[in-house]
Amino acid sequence: MKINRWHQIAFLSLIFFLLIKESFQIITGTIEINSAQNVILQTSATYTFRLSSQQQFYQNGRLLIIFPQDFTFTSTQALTCADDSGTNLNCAFNYQARLVTITSGLKNLASFTFSISGITNPGVAVETGYFTFRSYQLDSGSYKFVENSDTTLTVTPQPGSLTGSKLYFHLIMIDQYNLLQLMQLQDLRLHFQLA
C-alpha cells in the first residue's frame, strides 16, 4: 500500500494590514497598529497604537478607543495601558461596549503612542469593523470634544502560511485521520487515502 495523496492543510494566523482613509480628524497617515505578541486567532495579545493628531493631545485630556465587535473583552481579562516609555496609564474599561478610555497620562504632543494588553484576537481571518478614536480636553470643569476618527482605521487579518513552522506526526494510521501538531498553536488533522 502506498499513500498517493494527502490533503493540504493551512492554519490561519493574523497578519495585520491597515486600510487608512484620508481624514482631517484625529488619525493621519502616520498611524500604526501592531501586536507585541504573536498575532494568532483567538489568543490574547498586546496592541500598540501610534496616533497623530492635527490638534494636540492635552495632558488633562481623555482618549477613547472603541474596538470593533470582532475583538473580545471579558471582565476576567487583565487589560493594561502604557505609554511608549513603559509608564502605566490610567485606563477605564467598558467590557460590554469594547470601550477603552485613557483617563490620564496623555502628553502635550501632536502624536501619542500607547499599548493595550489582554485583548483577545478575532476568531476568523476576515476584515474587522472600524476602530474609533475620540479625543477630549478638560475645559471649565467638563470634557470638551476635540476630534473624532470614526470609520478611519480597519484591520484585515490574512491567512498565514506553514513556512518556517515545525510539523510533526504522532502515530500515522493509513486511511484514518491522523493528528498533525503545528508547534503549540493548534492541532490539525490530515486524512490519508489508500492507493
Looking at the fold, whether 79 and 109 belong to one and the same domain comes out as: yes
Looking at the fold, whether 84 and 180 belong to one and the same domain comes out as: no
Looking at the fold, whether 116 and 170 belong to one and the same domain comes out as: no
Looking at the fold, whether 150 and 176 belong to one and the same domain comes out as: no
Looking at the fold, whether 71 and 147 belong to one and the same domain comes out as: yes
The predicted model gives 126-135 an average pLDDT of: 71
Looking at the fold, whether 173 and 144 belong to one and the same domain comes out as: no
DSSP 150-194: TT-EEEE------TT--EEESS--TTSEEEEEETTTEEEEEEEEE
Looking at the fold, whether 54 and 147 belong to one and the same domain comes out as: yes
The predicted model gives 67-87 an average pLDDT of: 75
For residue range 36-64, list pLDDT tens digits in order: 344 566 777 777 777 666 666 677 778 88
Looking at the fold, whether 125 and 97 belong to one and the same domain comes out as: yes
pLDDT band, very low/low/confident/very high, at 90 (cuts 50, 70, 90): confident
Lowest pLDDT segment from 55-59, 144-148, 151-155:
151-155
Looking at the fold, whether 30 and 117 belong to one and the same domain comes out as: yes
| More reliable by pLDDT, 125 or 6 | 125
Looking at the fold, whether 56 and 121 belong to one and the same domain comes out as: yes
Lowest pLDDT segment from 16-25, 32-41, 102-111, 166-175:
16-25
Read off the pTM.
0.55
The residue segments making up the domain with residue 52 are 17-156
Give the model's pLDDT for residue 13. 27
The count of C-alpha atoms lying within 13 angstroms of the C-alpha of 141, restricted to the half-sphere facing its C-beta, is 0
Domain count within the chain: 2
Looking at the fold, whether 81 and 95 belong to one and the same domain comes out as: yes
Angstrom distance (rounded) from CA 182 to CA 168: 7
Looking at the fold, whether 109 and 168 belong to one and the same domain comes out as: no
The predicted model gives 159-175 an average pLDDT of: 41
Q: What distances in angstroms separate CA 109 from CA 105, 130, 175, 177, one per listed residue?
A: 12, 25, 64, 58
User: Residue 110's domain is classified under what CATH number?
Assistant: 2.60.40
pLDDT band, very low/low/confident/very high, at 145 (cuts 50, 70, 90): low
Per the CB < 8 A criterion, the answer to whether 67 and 131 are in contact is yes
